Amino acid sequence: MTPAPPAGRPAPSRAGAESHAHCLLCGSDNPLSLKLEFVPDGNDGVRGTFACREVLQGYQGIVHGGVIAALLDSAMTHCLFHRGIEAVTADLNVRYRFPLSCRSRVELAARIVQFHPPLYRLTAELTVGDRLIARAAAAFVDAARRPAAVNAAM
């Protein structure tokens, strides 16, 4: 595993709180937000729980795969937030192992596996009990380096 950031780095903060206030997954100011919350887990990770619901289904009674990908991505984003880092997803790979019932309560966990600013590599897992439902690996880049958002006229 790659070492932690240098000792002079500021303590973990609520990085992203303002920039993510309207986030669909964790935003405090978005009435449609899933209100995800994560807590530190060791020096390099975070954990959170989430109760799935029918409105998130794809096939009958099964959580949509895109929602699962978004949950894993959010866990990794918050892993960086807890280190005081704002970064955006550059690459996301998800491996689905089992369908997820819309009635499940899941645990999300994410960890930093490489720390080379401006690039960060993370992994995440979504489990129900001790069963691994899906896992992800992603690369993130410092938010300050992201290109401007595309704004196509409608």
Residue-wise pLDDT for 78-96, tens only, equals 999 999 999 999 999 999 9
The answer to whether residue 18 scores a pLDDT higher than 80 is: no
Question: Which domains can be identified in the chain, with CATH numbers?
Answer: 39-145 (3.10.129.10)
Residue-wise pLDDT for 123-132, tens only, equals 999 999 999 9
Place of tokens 């795969």: 65
Query: What local confidence, expressed as pLDDT, does residue 14 receive?
Result: 52
The structure's pTM equals 0.85
Contact between residue 87 and residue 77 where contact means Cβ atoms under 8 Å apart: yes
Query: What local confidence, expressed as pLDDT, does residue 148 receive?
Result: 76
